[in-house]
Amino acid sequence: MTIFSGELHAFDTKLATLYGLEESIILHHFLHWIALNKRKGHNKREGRYWTYQTQEDILAHFPYFKNKCKVRRILESLVKRNILVKGNFNKLNLDRTVWYAFYDEHLFLDEPKQNSPQKPPYVKSDTCISQIRHMDKSDMTYAEVISDTPIPDNKPKTDNKREERESVRARTEAEASSPPQKIDPFELHGKFVRLKKAELEELKANHGDKVVEECIDKINDFLASTGKKPYKDYAATIRIWIKRDAEKATAPKFTNFNSKVDRRARDKDGNVVENEYKDLF
């Protein structure tokens, strides 16, 4: 079992001296992908060639950065120094994946002039982490001379996964932003009376269908004719109205008598009440 991963990362010593070791590693990474997009004619926006990756993807390439905070700090440092520029050209509005391009593409992507006394900064060097073997570079751009092969991407492609993740996020946010549809358990009987199905069944079971329906009609007519506010609990109101109607129906009825002939007081049963104050007069 070996301790080596077999994956080598490179950086340019001059860039490391100018901008810092960590910044030069990220620049080396972006340099490869932007140059590749330029050669293939991909991702050209606003006169520049771009590459896009999330901070999670960058951290997956460079696990020794430990956390996204360091990746974010490195990227912000390169943007503040006008080395990189940020953009957003995603198809989904909710997709916040940042796109990156070089502020000055000519500085990083132009081919070196022939017979130039200055060596390209990415040729073989004893001080470079990644040794580059001698090869014919006549058909390669300046940026492609960085290394024989790009930094290997051992991670699966995340474009489809990211789009699927953003699509799920969009649906979740849309569901969260829209208020849930409330199901009204009440049924409208007439213009005003609102009853739950269970309440109506209980009323009819206790008082009969005809009595309940007549009471519902009375309440609707009463509210429509008086203009009063609707009741809060119609089931309780119906029970009260039915009880009141029953009391009226069972109340004793007084027989009519000729008051001109008989003016004596009578009780509720019609019996004559003796005047207890007759002895006072």
Domain positions in the chain: 13-175, 186-250
Least confident of 150-159, 164-173, 210-219: 150-159
pLDDT tens string 122-146: 433 333 333 333 334 444 444 444 4
CA dist 18 and 21 (Å) reads 9
**Average pLDDT score over residue span 254-268:** 61
The fraction of the chain above a pLDDT of 90, given in percent, is: 20
CA distance 185 to 77: 59
Please write the tens of the pLDDT for every residue from 202-255: 988 988 888 899 899 988 888 888 888 888 898 899 999 888 888 888 877 655
What number is the average pLDDT over the span 176-199?
Answer: 79
Q: What angle do CA 131, 136, 139 make, to 5 degrees?
A: 115
With b meaning 16 or more CB within 10 Å and e meaning fewer, what string describes 247-258? eeeeeeeeeeee
Q: Confidence class of residue 149 from pLDDT cuts 50, 70 and 90?
A: very low
Q: pLDDT at residue 83 above 90?
A: yes
| CA separation for the pair 230, 210 (Å, rounded) | 23
What is the pLDDT, as a whole number, of residue 190? 85
Cα of first residue to Cα of last residue in the chain, in angstroms, is 131
CA 234/CA 232 separation, integer angstroms: 6
Q: Are 185 and 200 in contact (CB under 8 A)?
A: no
Average pLDDT score over the chain: 76
**Of 107, 148, 143, which Cα lies nearest the Cα of 124?**
148
Question: Token pair 């213009």 is at which residue?
Answer: 191
